[in-house]
Structure 1
Amino acid sequence: MEDVGITILSEQHCHLGEGCTFDPVTGTAWWFDILDRTLFQADLQTGAIASHALPVMASALAVIDDRRQLIAAEDGLYVRDIIQGRLTLHTPLEAGNAATRSNDGRVHPCGALWIGTMGRQAEQDAGAIYHFHRGELKRLYAAIAIPNAICFAPDGATAYFADSREGILHRVAVDPVNAMPIGSPEALVDHRGRPGSLDGAVVDAEGLIWNARWGSGCVDVYTPQGERVRTLRVPARQPSCPVFVGKDFDRLLVTSAWEGMDEEERAADPHHGRTFILDVGAVGRPEPRVLLG
């Protein structure tokens, strides 16, 4: 376990902190508390934190342009006006299934969004992973319990994803032009039998995969061949999602959660649910903007 410099970005104890992203144009980091229906934003230069109450549970955010964001929520993909905060439904997402909600997602270099859904109680096989590109939504994979670790290689030719309950990080070749899979997924990392579970992930400029390990208070770093090369300590037991931030994308923002922890467990984990920035000595990449069509 490697110790690096850590700053607490937000003292807020998120019930289920998730879905972090970074807009380099404004120097703003964004993340959600899914279960408490809140969107957070942080100005990384000043450290100012703001929160926005949401009418729906939302889990992932992508920048459309300087005025708008696309938010994946429990019943659809919404366009959010950044200044006014107004949400407008763009594309329904399992809107007829009240038992599911959105979960992990990330934008491919071509501007396509991969977004996962899951049962509200993490029911077995209740979720799926979808592909959204230029206004069209397609289901890629079904029968998933907890979709996580969605991320993409720098050249856009490989996608990664996991079902946290299954415990396997998969890779699949994709078309760099539209992020559609080519062939079948194959196992890259078999995490079964190890402490914790695979959660959110992001890929750096060298193609290394940075994966938050829920339940073990750390972030693991894997090569594209599946070799674990680093494990960085996070001061909360349930880290959930990483993203590279800063002018040079050389720091790692990590969200966390206290979901499922009782009062005694939270007392033993005083930083539960807080949001951190780690000095990781690596260089990430800007998150692509999503294309609506």
Structure 2
Amino acid sequence: MNPSDFDCTVFDDEIRELGEGPTFDPDRDTLWWFDIHGRKLIERRLSDAASKVHELPFLASALAVVDSKRQLLATEHGLYLRSVDTGGLERLVDIEADDASTRSNDSRVHPCGAFWIGTMGKSAQPNAGSIYHFFRGELRRIFTGITVTNCISFTADGSIAYFTDSPTGKVMRVATDPQTGLPTAEPDLFFERDAAYPGYPDGAVVDADGLVWIAKWQGSCVEAHDPSGSVVETITLPAWQITCPAFIGPDAARMIVTSATEGLSDAQLRDHPHAGKTFLLNRPMNGRYESKVKI
């Protein structure tokens, strides 16, 4: 199994146990992502030949750009401001900080600047996770009883949000206020996994055409769903546990996807030698950049 046999190249060949949370900062031409279990934040300027690794003092899973000097990290204790230049960390808002059994997981910025933060049990305990909404200093819990939060993503106009509880195989859709990013209705079913569906829904992004690109944990692919939920394109990748996509580069015209080795046996690792690497898709995309978070 070689990446050259697939419609992708290896963007970063370091193997991450749980590669996750890619976010591109177009102002710095830099991709940021995490190895959650390794407590690492990885930085890669697109013009550079190698990645830079920043050690973290906690589990962290997602990053949002605040401005040219600051980032907001979703961590096992809550939200931290990080200085881009020094790496200094400042605790901003606690999220489940008194519960050592949970951590942050999939999170993404709504077009209005609100940050949706997903949590989950560190051992994927049933129903231990929630989704929170953070906007201009105010934190609200908006969904509860989730085992593994994933697929948090938004349409370009901010009117629809998507999310999933991965083990259920159900991707949900909910109307949101474009000005605040808060839900304005009850979620309904967007897509449900069946026996023919490869793997489980993990991270997702929505492109400028409204296609929802979903990474497939245990599915070796990323798939595009149209607004009706139908699969319209599948891109197969040389790793089994694909975790999260992100649009990168000029005009957000390329996509990278992260992957993981978490839980794989020695035999599975031999079958998937590129597990845990980060891939760049060769196919051009009509992507869009994520908004800056408003703290």
Pairwise TM-score range, normalised by the shorter structure: over 0.9
1:199–1:240 contact (8 Å) kept in structure 2: yes
Equivalent residues in 2 for 1:110-121, closer than 5 Å: 110-121=112-123
User: What is the alpha-carbon distance in structure 2 between the residues aligned to residue 155 and residue 5 of structure 1?
Assistant: 30
Say whether 1:230 aligns with 2:233. Answer: yes
Say whether 1:211 aligns with 2:205. Answer: no
Shift of 1:216: 1.2
2:247–2:287 contact (8 Å) kept in structure 1: yes
User: What is the alpha-carbon distance in structure 1 between the residues aligned to residue 200 and residue 291 of structure 2?
Assistant: 27
Q: Which residue matches 1:73?
A: 75
User: What is the alpha-carbon distance in structure 2 between the residues aligned to residue 289 and residue 192 of structure 1?
Assistant: 36
Q: Which residue matches 1:257?
A: 260
Q: Please tell me the residue identity of whatever aligns with 1:230.
A: E
Equivalent residues in 2 for 1:75-114, closer than 5 Å: 75-114=77-116
Structure 1: state its 5+ residue gaps. Answer: none
Say whether 1:199 aligns with 2:202. Answer: yes
User: What is the alpha-carbon distance in structure 2 between the residues aligned to residue 140 and residue 28 of structure 1?
Assistant: 31
Shift of 1:234: 1.2
Shift of 1:62: 0.3
1:4–1:279 contact (8 Å) kept in structure 2: no
Q: Please tell me the residue identity of whatever aligns with 1:118.
A: M
Shift of 1:45: 1.6
**Identical-pair percentage:** 48
1:4–1:280 contact (8 Å) kept in structure 2: no
RMSD, matched Cα: 1.0
Cα deviation 1:78-100 (Å, max 9, x = unaligned): 00001111111000010011110
Shift of 1:173: 0.3
- Normalised by the length of structure 1, the TM-score is 0.97
Q: Please tell me the residue identity of whatever aligns with 2:284.
A: G
1:214–1:240 contact (8 Å) kept in structure 2: yes
User: What is the alpha-carbon distance in structure 1 between the residues aligned to residue 53 and residue 162 of structure 2?
Assistant: 30
User: What is the alpha-carbon distance in structure 1 between the residues aligned to residue 283 and residue 167 of structure 2?
Assistant: 28
Q: Please tell me the residue identity of whatever aligns with 1:217.
A: S
- Normalised by the length of structure 2, the TM-score is 0.96
2:7–2:236 contact (8 Å) kept in structure 1: no
Match of 1:167 among 162, 165, 169: 169
Cα deviation 1:179-237 (Å, max 9, x = unaligned): 00011000010114333100000010111000000101000100111111001011111
User: What is the alpha-carbon distance in structure 2 between the residues aligned to residue 167 and residue 280 of structure 1?
Assistant: 26
User: What is the alpha-carbon distance in structure 1 between the residues aligned to residue 141 and residue 229 of structure 2?
Assistant: 26
